[in-house]
Structure 1
Amino acid sequence: MTNTPKPEMRPACPHFSSGPTAKRPGFSLSQLETAAFGRSHRSKDAKAKLKEAIDRTKAILKLPEDYRVAIVPASDTGAVEMCMWSMLGARPVDIFAWESFGKDWVTDAQKQLKLDDCEIYVGDYGVLPDFKKARDDADIVFTWNGTTSGVRVDDHSWIKPNPDRVVICDATSAVFAQDIPFEKLDVITYSWQKVLGGEAAHGMLILSPNAVKRLETYTPDRPLPKVFRMTSGGKLNEALFEGATINTPSMLAVEDYLKALDWAENEGGLPGLKARSDKSLKILEDWVEKTDWIEFLCADPKVRSNTGVTFRIADPRVAKLDTAGQEAFVKKLVALLEKEGVAFDFNAYNKAPPGLRIWVGSTVEPSDVEKLLPWLDWAFATVAEELQDA
């Protein structure tokens, strides 16, 4: 038996998944009874709720007045891809990636869109690529916060103003948690199931006037499916940004998003939500500093995510194992805490290096993060002892 005592206090909420993430504190299904159940999403009442979701998003994030917001199909993925398919090809393109989803946009550009003048810059997990290589006249596609790598952008000086190009930013695990210079970005996308702990399937699309100009002046030489079409007769479909969605949304999920926005406002808006995530990250940083068996996958604190925080096992007994061995060790550690009902879904992304990924977005209580850490120490000691005895 391990000498590390089994903790007694458990997190009140054991959900540390990176998406869908933990529901906001105080969530109850009874809060959704005001949803527009059984109504057409084009009815006056349902459309008003969709418009409210759009308007309040813009207000809480303090978006520039002339930016447009829409609710689109297929989560953040759909929002990114509808813009890549609709906008790219007019100019050279630079794509920066350093984690799994960013690499998906590389695949889209190279193998699906087959863009002619496309430069790709890929960083390893835990580090950023060299943004200084961005061309001032090229369109840009990049991820603000690496959901699977635990690395975020901290410096945006490399994004030079240019009204003739578009900058597309997948910001799904950053919006509502990090400071983002919206005025320097033309396309910003995210999904409800990340920082606000909403439900899946809906994407949020934010467009600058420059992005609208691209849509109205450039017609790609590729077919666009219905769910990607944002223009009609060469003009932006303005109704899309007033709550007339492309396809049928879940009004139950919309209601949950509106209640999440209520909670966000009560927490102080963006500054309040960011502070919650920052507090949880600080708790993890203090723990890692005094714990010898674990380390951050992202070694640089300036670019370390405050939402999806990634770790690798530093203990020599585990580090010397091959990838399969390390994955097996982590799997046992995670399974042990899931069996205890202490924490769920906190293993590293399956394409990332073996390790842990703990979501500490604002819907996670910092006090639960504190309660989790002794359990992690106990689980590691328990599984490591089994490894030593084997």
Structure 2
Amino acid sequence: MTNERIHNFNAGPAALPPEVLRQAASELENFNGTGMSIMEHSHRGESYESVHYETIETVKRLLGISDAYDVLLLQGGASLQFAMLPYNLLSPSRKANYILTGSWSEKAKKEADHLGETYSGASGKEDHYKRIPDFETIDTTVDDAYIHLTSNNTIYGTAWQDFSRLSEWEAPVVADMSSDLFSRPLPVENFDLIYAGAQKNIGPSGVTLVIISKTLLEKTKTIAREVPAIMRYHTHAEKASLYNTPPTFAVYMMRNTLRWIEANGGLQAMEARNREKAGRLYDAIDESDGFYRGHAHPSSRSNMNVTFTLPSEELTEQFLEDAKEREFSGLNGHRSVGGCRASIYNAVSLESCEALRDFMVSFQKKHR
């Protein structure tokens, strides 16, 4: 055990900025001189509502979201969105198009399969999800109920590099951005709906961000009219995400994390910082002469999740054991890929990535 901060590479819930944690600690018992924690305030009261609406406005400001979209603060994580999407958007006369790039897009499609017809316009499964399909190879039609993609694949360490051509698709475009939203600038106008669990880049687990175009929101009124109220996007939009009791502390932490992003240069600065961090680790992989092998094809590499394997299971186990002794946490690879994974979301420091790089180099020298 240690009394110091360690190098946290967990995939989620993930690292939070130390400044945000210190602020939460200082305000935990007495928020803004009210004599109560934010967790104790009524979600109908002025103290919480100021946090709630500031969070929504900061989301809009950082992402440059126009008035053509609504921003919702929901619960249930991306997993609940896997069901809310087809409940609200998949009519009996249409099919939903899922672009398969990893386990999470597979799970999203499987959930939709319970509620209507789906198909896959592209899949990287045969190549063990090592790369994002080339845009020209993705099949879509104007009759698709919606086209769903997962922007960053935490398990496989791949990511969509460019969203500029999504505007060519004629059906609504939906994206699960749980693991890379707010890590880089984003052309929101090329999407009709974006959803993301907060526990990677923008806060703790418990709150889910949904960005939905008002045009698409209007369409859901017809498709989802028989759906329980709590599962309708329109319900939450009408009530400004206060239809039911929101996860007040998680929203408060999200607000503070968004403030931290803004104070540290916004999304352009986050992107530059994340590229530099990822570059340190990919250099260690590429310069290892095959000792470390990256899972993702270089053209599809994620700046959020760096996945790699070692020459043997024995060396992998030794690597993880030695890493733990040096106070690196969360480097185990997912069981479906094996090896190792470093999740380097916004709050992970460059110093932590450099420390991991140095450890990788020294471990390689010791075990060649």
TM-score range, shorter chain: 0.7 to 0.9
Counterparts of 1:311-350 in structure 2, within 5 Å, are 311-313=308-310, 315=311, 318=312, 326=313, 329-338=315-324, 340-350=325-335
SS in 1 for 2:40: coil
> Is the CA contact (8 Å cut-off) linking 2:122 and 2:139 kept in structure 1?
no
Counterparts of 1:187-206 in structure 2, within 5 Å, are 187-196=193-202, 198-206=203-211
Distance 2:55 2:244 in 1: 16
Partner of residue 227 from structure 2, selected from 224, 228, 231: 224
Corresponding residue of 2:108:
105
For residue 282 of structure 1, report the CA deviation from its aligned partner. Answer: 1.4
Offset from partner CA, 1:134-162 (integer Å, 9 cap, x none): 32312201101112111111233553456
Question: TM-score, normalising length from structure 2?
Answer: 0.86
For residue 80 of structure 1, report the CA deviation from its aligned partner. Answer: 4.1
Distance 2:103 2:9 in 1: 19
For residue 231 of structure 1, report the CA deviation from its aligned partner. Answer: 3.2
Distance 2:173 2:7 in 1: 37
Counterparts of 1:59-74 in structure 2, within 5 Å, are 59-74=61-76
Distance 2:106 2:237 in 1: 31
Partner of residue 271 from structure 1, selected from 268, 273, 276: 268
Offset from partner CA, 1:282-320 (integer Å, 9 cap, x none): 1112222321310221122x321111111122x3xx2xx
Corresponding residue of 1:388:
none
Considering Cα pairs closer than 8 Å and 6+ residues apart, tell me whether 1 or 2 has the greater RCO. Answer: 1
AA aligned opposite 2:280: I
Change (3 A) 1:224 1:333: farther
Corresponding residue of 2:358:
374
1:288 aligns with 2:285: yes
Corresponding residue of 1:30:
25
Question: TM-score, normalising length from structure 1?
Answer: 0.81
> Is the CA contact (8 Å cut-off) linking 1:23 and 1:363 kept in structure 2?
yes
Change (3 A) 1:16 1:258: same
Partner of residue 127 from structure 1, selected from 121, 128, 131: 131
> Is the CA contact (8 Å cut-off) linking 2:177 and 2:194 kept in structure 1?
yes
Offset from partner CA, 1:83-109 (integer Å, 9 cap, x none): 232112353321111211111012112
AA aligned opposite 1:186: D
Distance 1:76 1:225 in 2: 19
Distance 1:30 1:231 in 2: 36
Distance 2:26 2:86 in 1: 37
Change (3 A) 1:88 1:295: same
For residue 31 of structure 1, report the CA deviation from its aligned partner. Answer: 4.2
Change (3 A) 1:53 1:373: same
Distance 2:17 2:75 in 1: 23
Partner of residue 211 from structure 1, selected from 202, 216, 222: 216
Offset from partner CA, 1:271-290 (integer Å, 9 cap, x none): 11111111101111222232
Gaps of 5+ in 1: 1-10, 319-325, 386-390
Offset from partner CA, 1:40-98 (integer Å, 9 cap, x none): 21223222311111111111111123211011111232234312321123533211112
Partner of residue 303 from structure 1, selected from 294, 300, 305: 300
Figure out how many residues of one structure are paired with residues of the other and give that number.
348
Change (3 A) 1:18 1:32: farther
Partner of residue 96 from structure 2, selected from 93, 96, 99: 93
AA aligned opposite 1:94: N
SS in 1 for 2:328: coil
Change (3 A) 1:12 1:104: same
> Is the CA contact (8 Å cut-off) linking 2:195 and 2:209 kept in structure 1?
yes
Change (3 A) 1:373 1:157: closer
RMSD across aligned positions (CA): 2.5
Distance 1:31 1:134 in 2: 52
Offset from partner CA, 1:183-202 (integer Å, 9 cap, x none): 11111011221113x21121
Distance 1:39 1:195 in 2: 25
For residue 19 of structure 1, report the CA deviation from its aligned partner. Answer: 0.8
Distance 1:363 1:78 in 2: 25
> Is the CA contact (8 Å cut-off) linking 1:298 and 1:310 kept in structure 2?
yes
Corresponding residue of 1:247:
244
AA aligned opposite 1:345: G
For residue 378 of structure 1, report the CA deviation from its aligned partner. Answer: 4.2
Corresponding residue of 2:34:
none
Offset from partner CA, 1:293-348 (integer Å, 9 cap, x none): 10221122x321111111122x3xx2xxxxxxx3x65344223322x142111111
AA aligned opposite 1:299: H
> Is the CA contact (8 Å cut-off) linking 1:98 and 1:127 kept in structure 2?
yes
Gaps of 5+ in 2: 32-36
- Percent of residue pairs bearing the same amino acid type: 22
Change (3 A) 1:161 1:214: farther
Partner of residue 157 from structure 2, selected from 124, 134, 150: 150
Distance 2:192 2:248 in 1: 28
Corresponding residue of 1:141:
148
> Is the CA contact (8 Å cut-off) linking 1:54 and 1:243 kept in structure 2?
no
1:182 aligns with 2:188: yes
